[in-house]
Amino acid sequence: MTSSTRAAMEPSDPVPGEGDAPGPTDGTEAKPSELVGRSPGRLAWIRFKRDKVGILCAFTVLGFILVAVAAPLISKVYGKDPYQLYGQDRGLLNSYGIPLKPNGGIDGDFWFGIEPKLGRDVFTLLIYGIRTSLLIALAVTMIAVVIGVLIGLVQGYLGGRTDYFLGRFSDLMLSFPQQLFFIAFTPVIVALFVSPTEEEPTYVRVVALILVQLILGWMTIGRLIRAQVLSLREREFIEAARLSGASGWRIIRKELLPNIWSTVLVQATLLLPVNVTAEAGLSYLGVGVHSPTPDWGLLFQSGATYYDSDLTFMFFPGIAMVVFVVAFNLLGDSVRDALDPKTVR
């Protein structure tokens, strides 16, 4: 080997100032930048923010909720309440109970007109009706989700006879016609609390509506949770938790629940508008909330009576119901797409 070749292969002394990476002067070593991952919730939020329809529907639903919560404040600022008979007191109705002014009596004092026959303000009736229907539907949805999740977890995790008997009970309850069941059993539940000869308080009717919808309201989400738990309990991380000595309650709480929350959230958003329309339908059929309590269904019931002579009375409650149900269903679809990692946005 020649001297020139040997010199080329030998490492040369570094020249000061060349190739030296800038470093800290205090003697500490520079740490490489840490990679920060994104949680599934963060990824879902990023996907949801890209969905313009979902954002619009979320603001629409939030607007309805704010109106329901702030109904007393809005009524106070507006200067009217849903129980005062303005049409009768001010002579705004004709002998047939129809508003004298055109378009259902809409003017600067009554933004949505006045109610035929009684003469109550339609705007305050609507915002308080939204409040009543939303409170009942929200209570039904929350309790039904809790019951459905608990029963689905028990069925899916324990399996065996527990799963069999609970499954057959769910099948039995699902075999009942829902609307017919509601109509038939609501008076029965009311009779359990109040004698037919006594005056019926409003809260009794509200409790009856919540109970009768709960009886048939938890099965759907319970079956979905059961199917998901049956799939999850055979996964490796569940087997590892069992081998580590974790109790069944700890496995359910720490391993199963975090993996089914997306299904629970989606089903809750889809179940709420169903319960709103069910409650309004029961009031429309006469087995729900009774007058003078403001309710969405009662507005439709009164509007159907005076449809030919006062079309505008049903217009605003109908538009509000359509907007709410469509917005909430589209919001549920957007939430489901955001939580699904396979969705291409």
CATH number, residue 119 = 1.10.3720.10
Which token pair is 201?
A: 């308080």
* End-to-end Cα distance, the chain: 64
- In one-letter notation, the amino acid at residue 62 is L
- Say if 146 falls within a structural domain: yes
- Say if 279 falls within a structural domain: yes
Q: Note whether 90 and 122 are within 8 A (CB).
A: no
pLDDT recorded at residue 99: 79
pLDDT recorded at residue 326: 92
Number of domains in the chain: 1
pLDDT recorded at residue 234: 81
pLDDT recorded at residue 344: 54
3-state secondary structure at position 103: helix
- Say if 175 falls within a structural domain: yes
Reported as a single tens digit per residue, the pLDDT across 177-236 is: 888 888 888 888 888 888 777 777 878 888 888 998 888 888 889 999 999 898 888 888
DSSP symbol at 253: I
Distance CA 258, CA 235 (A): 14
CA-nearest of 100, 73, 74, 72 to 86 is: 100
pLDDT recorded at residue 8: 46
Alpha helix segments (H runs only) across 233-256: 236-243, 248-251
- Say if 223 falls within a structural domain: yes
Distance CA 191, CA 269 (A): 32
Distance CA 43, CA 25 (A): 39
Q: Output the CA–CA distances (angstroms, integers) from residue 140 to 31, 149, 214, 268, 277, in the order listed.
A: 54, 14, 6, 10, 12
Q: Note whether 229 and 156 are within 8 A (CB).
A: yes
Greatest distance between any 2 Cα atoms in the chain: 124
Q: Note whether 241 and 198 are within 8 A (CB).
A: no
- Say if 239 falls within a structural domain: yes
Distance CA 269, CA 135 (A): 15
Strand partners, 93: 99
> Please, what are the averages of pLDDT over each run of 10 residues along the chain (345 residues)?
48 49 49 57 81 90 92 90 81 78 80 85 91 92 93 88 89 85 85 77 86 88 90 84 81 84 87 90 85 86 80 86 91 84 56
- Say if 128 falls within a structural domain: yes
pLDDT recorded at residue 7: 47
Q: Find the helix packing angle between 52-69 and 71-78, rounded to 10°.
A: 70
Parent domain of 265 = 64-339
- Say if 42 falls within a structural domain: no
Distance CA 165, CA 73 (A): 50
Q: Does pTM top 0.85 for this prediction? A: no
Q: Output the CA–CA distances (angstroms, integers) from residue 256 to 53, 95, 233, 236, 237, in the order listed.
A: 31, 65, 8, 12, 10
Question: Contacts by 89-95 with C-beta closer than 8 Å and gap 24+?
Answer: 89/119, 90/119, 92/119, 93/117, 93/119
Q: Output the CA–CA distances (angstroms, integers) from residue 80 to 63, 71, 85, 110, 327, in the order listed.
A: 21, 11, 10, 9, 29
> For tokens 């403001």, what's the residue?
294
- Say if 275 falls within a structural domain: yes
Which token pair is 160?
A: 């065996």
pLDDT recorded at residue 342: 64
- In one-letter notation, the amino acid at residue 39 is S
